[in-house]
Each structure stands twice: as structure tokens, then as C-alpha cells.
Structure 1
């Protein structure tokens, strides 16, 4: 048996694939525990045996970070929170931004809501969780971090709104 501590399957954003064909259509025997608050099964551990439904044979699992549209759910949740305030979350403005005055803060938050300059350079995982822009001669950064509901650790699944509290931080680049 392989435990969570002995594998990399707890790395957020990675998925198991078949080592033969690269398919994500793999199954494995596992232990799961029902999470009443979240309303879904949480994987506790999985066993060494795995089967690929594409190859139709036993396989070994490899954990990889998917490319492109697989992060669509996470991206959509981040965008909904950032642009419309939808979902569970908090917005923090650093002291430096706050010191610029309430009108500046309002314009900066509007720029965060309107931000759409995502590229491979500033958003390599297509999660829409970071942005940089200039406002009135000041360089600003914003970042969305997904926390658990108690704000004690990283969310166990940032693509699941039921277990994630998003924290958007707006700062001057000089405060980074």
C-alpha cells in the first residue's frame, strides 16, 4: 500500500496518468472518507495497483500537472470572485495601497476587476490568480490565494468552491 505521505498525489493541481499511454482514464483501489461539510468523498490513500481504461490493462501511475483547459474550473472560480465578487472570499489591500486614499483604492480595485491581460508569461497554469498593472504611475500586483475554510492552510481543492476561501491581495509592487 502507498500512503499519501509516500506519494506526490497530494500536490494541488496534479493528476494521475497511465505511464503507458498518458491517459487520465485510470482507476485504482483506494480508501476514501465522506466529508459531510463539503458533501463529497475525500481520498485518504490509494493502493499500488492501477488500471488504465484506455489501454485496458494494469499500469503504474505518474502524477503530472495538466496543461491548458483542465484548469478551467479553477480559472472560472477565480474570475467570478475577482470580477463579480462571487463565492467565498476576502479582499485585502496593503498599507501602501490604502495610504494612496480611498479614491485610488476604488480605481485600483476596478482595474483588478477589469484585468484581462493574461498570457503564458504571467499565467502559465491558466488559473487567472495573478496580475500586474500600472495606475497613475504606480505599479500594482494582485494575487488570489486559495485557503481552506478556516484560513489555516492551502485549500485541499481550489477548484471546489465548497472547500475554498479565496483571498485576493492588492499591493504596490514596491511592497512585494
Structure 2
């Protein structure tokens, strides 16, 4: 039974992460200086590729939470990752499955900026 609960928890985290990534809602999305400095058409292609990324597998998503990935867009290596912070800015541990207590922050950066 605990495995089922953990699987449900991870599926919830993945759903919430996908929602942020696709809609930009319920969190913040930050572009690194390198991505922000790309030509507009390339930057648009990067954002679209991150939004529509669906190639999750055991290698790039071992925990099934859809919280980061590496991809190439117009010869630019792109990394995006989602971090979790307490909404009340406390130092308490956060639960990424509980959207009422955490703020999701996705950062999109060039591979060389990681």
C-alpha cells in the first residue's frame, strides 16, 4: 500500500509541475540571462519546446515528477527545472504535492549556465 500512496503522490506532483510548465499558472517562470538574451524567435521556440516537452522516461525523470529535463532547441542546449519554496517563506520542509503550502519556480536556462 505505501508504494501506491507514493505513486499517487508522485503523479500529483507531476500533474502540478506539468500545469505550471504548460500554462505558467500557480508559480513563477524565470528565464536565465542566457535564454533572455537569445533572439526573440529562438526564445519563443525554447519556451514552446519546454511547454510541450513530453519525452519523460526513466533516464530523465527517474522519480516520475516531471521536474526537470534537458533538450536542444536550435542548437542551444536547454535545461529547465522546477524547485519548490514555502509560500509563507518559512524554512520548513515543503511538500511539492501540496499546492496550498508551496510555490513552484521553474527556471529555463542554457546548459552552460547550470
- Shorter-chain TM-score bucket reads 0.7 to 0.9
Q: Secondary structure at the match of 1:161?
A: coil
* Residues 70 and 160 of structure 1: CA distance in aligned 2, closer, same or farther (over 3 Å): closer
Which of 97, 103, 106 is the matching residue for 1:159?
97
Q: Secondary structure at the match of 2:38?
A: coil
The alpha carbon displacement at 1:152 in A equals 6.0
Matches of 2:15 and 2:64 in 1, distance apart?
10
Matches of 2:87 and 2:9 in 1, distance apart?
24
Matches of 1:154 and 1:122 in 2, distance apart?
28
Q: Name the structure 2 match of 1:105.
A: 43
User: Higher relative contact order at CA 8 Å, sep ≥6: structure 1 or structure 2?
Assistant: 2
Structure 1: gaps spanning 5 or more residues: 1-22, 25-65
Q: Which protein is richer in strand relative to its size?
A: 1
Taking structure 1 as the reference length, the TM-score comes to 0.58
Matches of 2:90 and 2:62 in 1, distance apart?
26
Q: Secondary structure at the match of 1:96?
A: helix
1:120 aligns with 2:70: no
Q: Which runs of 4+ in 1 moved over 2 A?
A: 150-155
Q: Secondary structure at the match of 1:121?
A: coil
The aligned length equals 111
Give the alignment of 1:79-90 within 5 angstroms: 79-87=18-26, 89-90=27-28
Structure 2: gaps spanning 5 or more residues: none
Taking structure 2 as the reference length, the TM-score comes to 0.87
Asked which structure has the greater CA Rg, the reply is 1
Q: Secondary structure at the match of 1:162?
A: coil
Give the alignment of 1:6-155 within 5 angstroms: 23-24=1-2, 66=6, 68-87=7-26, 89-150=27-88, 153=91
* Residues 116 and 155 of structure 1: CA distance in aligned 2, closer, same or farther (over 3 Å): farther
